[in-house]
Every structure is written in structure tokens, then in C-alpha cells.
Amino acid sequence: MQDSSSMKFSPLDLMSAIIKGKFDPSNGTTPASIILENREFVMLLTTSIAVLVGCVVVLIWRRSNAQKSKPIEVPKRIIEKLPELDIDDGKKKVTVFFGTQTGTAEGFAKAIAEEAKARYEKATFRVVDMDDYAADDDEYDEKFKKESMALFFLATYGDGEPTDNAARFYKWFTEVSLIQILVALILRLYGDGEPTDNAARFYKWFTEEHEGGEDSFKNLQYGVFGLGNRQYEHFNKVAKVVDDMLLERGNQLF
């Protein structure tokens, strides 16, 4: 009878025993005895498994980094083309502008427009986001020359700043207003609207250099509704600036 202590087990016996989960204690076949008999194979097996796991981890890490590094394409801002109100149907046309950060000014503008539509059948009302009104300064200038009646619902945001959707309009309005007010003052000071002899060359250059010298709001009747928080230092600054500059031009309130 062969001594169980002298029995040798091959790596295949080890794998078979591990897979099947069968060990025969009567023959000395125990997990410990098999592992002791095949130390080199066990070390090779565990090393191979460790290398395989490491390769899988590296592969997953590289794929995740590759996905993160893909550039994000920012969609270009598209300005919606607003319908023109050039059709002469005999009705007065009122454009209701809003500059809003949280939606409050927009809500007031739409509510007023709906109420006005129900009350005044001989007028048309159009609610317009200030940022969608024009794509650039030239278009602002061109379109406002056609406006005859407008309501401005303007919120002041932060430290006396315009809201995001009114920022372009506010910048254009304040810059062109200063130019047009200066031109108007020059014309008021001298005779029949002509500059003095020693100011003629300057006036010619100034008006040619700044096409905004022609008043963009010449025939505009308007109203301004400001929204803000009295706790801030520059309460309703944006609405006040727009109102003051329109009054300085000589525009009339409703």
C-alpha cells in the first residue's frame, strides 16, 4: 500500500480539484496538501491573475480618460428672426420689451400685453426679448427708428448692472444716446441748426464718424417699468438711466 505522504499531485490535479471542489481525505487529498506540493504553480497562477486584473484596470482607466478628453462643442447662439410689423392695418403698434434675469420682468411684460390686447382693440402689442430684437448695433439703430410706441420692462441685476438679455441693448443705448444728445445740444445752440464757423469742420467729422447722430428714437413715445430691490445701492438704475436719456432726447411718455 502506497503511503499517502509520498503521493505527488500535478498542477492539473490541483486545477481539477479546485474546479470540482472534490478532495479525498482518505488519500491525503486536501487543499493544504495540494498547495504545498505545487507552490511554484500556485505562485505562477496568482501572479497571472494579478497581471490580468491590472491590465483590465488600466484599460478601463484609459477609456474613461479618453471619453473625458473629448472637446465639448458649444452650440452657437441663434437669434430668432422676429416678425416685422410694417403692415399698415390702421392700428397703433406697441412693442413691449423686457430685460429679465429670473423671469419676473418677462412675466409682467406678458401680463400687461395680454391685458392691453383685451382692452384696446385698435392697437397691436408684441412682447420682445431685448436680446432677440437685434443681432448688432446697426440693426438696433435701424429697428428703433421704426418704433413709435414702446414699453420697457427692465430689471436691474447685481451692482446696478443690466440683466444678461438686456446687456447688449443697454451698452448700445447708453453709447449712442450720449452721441445723439450731444449732437442735439449742438444743433439747439446755433441758429437754424447749423454749427458756428469755427465748429463746422468738427461737426461734419463728428456726424459722419458717428452715424448715430440721427436720432434713433426721434418719434418714440414710451413708458419704463423698473424692477429691482430697494436694499441695493443702485436700486432700479437701468430703468432710471433709460428713462432719463429718453427724456433728455425730448421723447414723450405715454
Compute the distance between CA of residue 152 and CA of residue 105 in angstroms, rounded to an integer: 9
Q: How do residues 82-104 score in pLDDT, each as one tens digit? A: 555 556 677 899 999 999 999 99
Q: How do residues 38-72 score in pLDDT, each as one tens digit? A: 566 667 667 777 777 777 777 787 777 665 555 54
Q: What pLDDT does 28 receive?
A: 53
Residue 159: which H helix or E strand, with range?
none
Residue type, 231: Q
Other C-beta atoms lying within 10 Å of the C-beta of residue 181? 15
Q: State in words which class domain 92-253 has.
A: alpha beta
Q: What pLDDT does 218 receive?
A: 78
Ranked by mean pLDDT, the top range of 53-67, 152-166, 169-183 is 152-166
Q: How large is the angle between the packed helices 167-189 and 200-209, nearest 10 degrees?
A: 160
Per-residue cell: 152: 420697457
Contact 248, 176 (CB under 8 A): no
Q: What pLDDT does 208 receive?
A: 63
Q: Which positions ≥6 away from 174 have C-beta within 8 Å?
A: 241, 245
Compute the distance between CA of residue 47 and CA of residue 51 in angstroms, rounded to an integer: 6
Domain borders along the chain are 7-68, 92-253
Compute the distance between CA of residue 205 and CA of residue 213 in angstroms, rounded to an integer: 11
Q: Which segment of 111-120, 126-135, 157-166, 242-251 scores lowest on mean pLDDT? A: 242-251
Q: Which segment of 56-65, 143-152, 230-239 scores lowest on mean pLDDT? A: 56-65
Q: What pLDDT does 19 receive?
A: 52
Average pLDDT, rounded, for the chain: 76
- Which 3-state string (H, E, C) describes 23-85? CCHHHCCCHHHHHHHCHHHHHHHHHHHHHHHHHHHHHHHHHHHHHHCCCCCCCCCCCCCCCCC
Largest CA distance in the chain: 137
Q: How do residues 184-230 score in pLDDT, each as one tens digit? A: 666 555 656 666 777 677 767 666 655 544 567 878 999 999 999 88
Between 112 and 42, where is the model more confident? Answer: 112
Q: Which positions ≥6 away from 21 have C-beta within 8 Å?
A: none
Residue type, 39: R
Q: Which positions ≥6 away from 145 have C-beta within 8 Å?
A: 214, 216, 218
- Which 3-state string (H, E, C) describes 188-218? HHCCCCCCCHHHHHHHHHHHHHCHHHCCCCC
Q: What pLDDT does 252 receive?
A: 87
